[in-house]
Amino acid sequence: MDLPMRTTTRRRVIAILAAGATAATSAVLLAPGTSTASSHREAPYTLSDPLVDNTDTYAFVSPDRPDTVTLSANFNGFQEPAQGPNFYPFDNKARYEIHIDNNGDARPDITYRWTFKDIDRRGTAERGATDGTFLLNDGPVRSYNDATLKFKQSYTLQGIRYNADRTEQAPINLVVDGKVAPPNVGKASTPNYAALRNEAVRAVTLPGDSAGPSGKAFAGPADDPFFLDLRIFDLLYGGDFSEVGYDGLSGYNVNNVSLQVPKRLLVAAGDASANPVIGVWSTTSRRQNRVLLANNAAPATSVNEDSDTAQDSGPFVQVSRLGNPLVNEAVVPANLKDFFNRSTPDTDAKFLAKVQDPEVPILVEQIYRIPNPNKLGGVAAKRNDLSAAFLTGFSRDVFAGRTFGGLGRGVLDADLNSLDINRVSPNPVPAEYLRLNVNVPPKKPGQAGYSRLGAVGGDLSGFPNGRRLQDDVVDIALQVLEGVLVRPAGATRNAVAGLGDAVNRSDRALSGTFPYVALPHAGSDPRRGQDPVQFRQRFRSSGGVVTASAYGISPGAKGGRAQLFKVLSDGRQVLVGTARLNAAGTATSSLQVRHPVGRDLTLVWRVTPLRGSAAGPNTGVQTTITVR
């Protein structure tokens, strides 16, 4: 049978769901939210001030150094790699911070603060009658110290602890004059960018180190590790889940700061056995006052002066905040987004009502006629699953209602990531941030027990126990909001568990070592077209053999690749094989799959054009056939 891309399985899921469902409890984990670009451009203020816009925060046990925790935060998303001449520096008038709460009061016990300095030599370049150049570099750059690099940045990293009255203790300088990795301008300008990036990875001596540096730090651009199909905004994937499978962040970069710290230096009292859970969130801050200079004011004379436009003064105030992904985007309404960005975690209980009655299931019910889980009654109506993930974490005391007033009662009877597990914090304050149990061993892709769905897929080392770079938080969030935690076992729950945007990984492979984020895309390598490649799928079966092919590929994906995947009952995809493309890249060779006659088989094609092609990659609609 010949099948166009926009058909079958996902619409079949909608039909199953729309038939109705009843409430039940479930022992599955998930965090709240929905499918948006995490925290990219989510609030009115940060929309106009992108240099200080938090996009994502990550906290995970380091896969290659499990005695350490890696803290990572991204800023200023949707960076077009070729967008010179200024590219995307960190703001040298702002503070970029990652905070740790280890005693459950929802206030920082440790803060790591990055501040940046411009090193601008563009005004000293000899160019014609008036010296100065518009170029970031005027020759190949092979090292941070090359004279050809006319503009670069350095940073200071400080560690801060707090007094009993919550005032800051004197900051401790952990890094001074750290090298910020420059932009990946292109193959002519930065011919060995990997070496430039490695030059920016810095060993860090932390308080208590006696045998040499135990930490690592990094600041610079990276491929955006977040992935999703942004067409959620078109009536939730086109009104029929047909608009899925295209990574809207493919080819874009972000600014990243990362720090690797021994877990003993993060947990309360240095005792991970007694106090294994930490809360993690990131913020950016600006000085409170900004004065724009008058027209025709004389230019600054120093080449290190970043701006002739404004002067900032006054105390620093928080302007952006990020803990769990997708919260300010999908839980907090538009009129409160700037307020949320300025609020602190110890006051988050005020958002409880919105957490327990999120908007997305209401919209899904209107568009797809899928019953809102909040209307199912009983446990479902309370949405204790969202309360636990958003404000409390999961533990046996949360399950039993002995802490937090039973906000998460009945969700998961296990000690995972609530701070009430810690000996020092038996009654922690409800707060919105990532919670990481540092004693849960890390799992890598391909390792037994690993799942991109994190705890929802049975992998307790993933989201919402912290957040790894590869966790598919969009699919996790979509499934839980549609009731995967509160529906009984059966066809409806199985269908909900298969919901997602068909984007399961970032467009670039992560690094196996710190800082783990992939190298940024180069400006000389044109970003893939916004439009995903289009194609049709053909599946025919006879004698227990399914023959599969893709055709009508437009525009042609000459030199690209086409992969066939088998979709398992739990939603995981297993690669069947890679097909050859014809000379024009418009059709694939056929692949064959053996399967028992009379049994259902779900298959899907993914076509990936060469980078720089007129269109980006796309995944077909998961198609289920009964084998003949």
487-519 residue pLDDT tens: 667 777 777 788 888 889 998 999 999 999 999
pLDDT in tens, 134-160: 999 999 999 999 999 999 999 999 999
pLDDT in tens, 258-309: 999 999 999 999 999 999 999 999 999 999 999 988 888 777 655 445 566 8
Tell me what the mean pLDDT of segment 337-358 comes to: 89
**pLDDT classification of 243: cutoffs 50, 70, 90:** confident
3-state secondary structure of 152: strand
Structure tokens at 547: 């023959």
3-state secondary structure of 121: coil
Q: Higher-confidence residue: 400 or 91?
A: 91
What was the pLDDT predicted at 126? 80
Which DSSP string corresponds to 453-505?
A: TGGGGT-TTSTTBSB-TT--HHHHHHHHHTTTTTSPTTHHHHHHHT-S-S--S
Structure tokens at 345: 């975690």
Share of the chain above pLDDT 90, in %: 57
How many angstroms separate the CA atoms of 300 and 592, rounded? 69
What was the pLDDT predicted at 209? 82
Tell me what the mean pLDDT of segment 189-214 comes to: 93
How many angstroms separate the CA atoms of 218 and 519, rounded? 13
How many angstroms separate the CA atoms of 155 and 176, rounded? 6
**pLDDT classification of 530: cutoffs 50, 70, 90:** low
**pLDDT classification of 252: cutoffs 50, 70, 90:** very high
- The number of residues making up the chain comes to 628
Residues 6+ apart with CB under 8 A from 140: 146, 148, 188, 189, 190, 191
pLDDT in tens, 418-444: 999 999 999 999 999 999 999 999 999
What was the pLDDT predicted at 569? 81
Q: Are 486 and 373 in contact (CB under 8 A)?
A: yes
The conformation of residue 581, written as its DSSP 8-state character, comes to B
Tell me what the mean pLDDT of segment 200-227 comes to: 93
Residue 116: is its pLDDT beyond 90? yes
Residue 524: is its pLDDT beyond 50? yes
Comparing 507-521, 540-554, 562-576, the range with the smallest average pLDDT is 562-576
pLDDT in tens, 440-486: 999 999 999 999 999 888 899 999 999 999 999 999 888 878 877 76
What was the pLDDT predicted at 544? 94
List of domains in the chain: 44-237+252-344 (no CATH), 534-626 (2.60.40.10)
**pLDDT classification of 407: cutoffs 50, 70, 90:** confident
Q: Which segments of 183-249 does DSSP mark as H helices, in order?
A: 193-199, 235-236
Residue 23: is its pLDDT beyond 50? no
Q: Are 41 and 490 in contact (CB under 8 A)?
A: no
How many angstroms separate the CA atoms of 250 and 607, rounded? 14
Left if phi > 0, otherwise alpha if psi is -120 to 50, otherwise beta: which for 169? beta
Cα distances (angstroms) measured from residue 368 to each of 12, 360, 526: 12, 12, 37
What was the pLDDT predicted at 361? 85
Element spanning 159, H or E: strand 151-161
What was the pLDDT predicted at 529? 55
Burial of 416 (0-12, 13-18, 19+ CB in 10 A): buried
Structure tokens at 586: 């418009």
What was the pLDDT predicted at 380? 63
3-state secondary structure of 112: strand
Question: Mean pLDDT across the chain, nearest whole number?
Answer: 87
Share of the chain above pLDDT 70, in %: 90
Residue 526: is its pLDDT beyond 70? no
Residue 176: is its pLDDT beyond 60? yes
Residues 6+ apart with CB under 8 A from 473: 31, 33, 38, 325, 326, 463, 467
What was the pLDDT predicted at 477? 86
What was the pLDDT predicted at 539? 95
Q: Rg of the chain over CA atoms, in angstroms?
A: 25
Cα distances (angstroms) measured from residue 80 to each of 77, 186, 191, 336: 9, 12, 19, 29
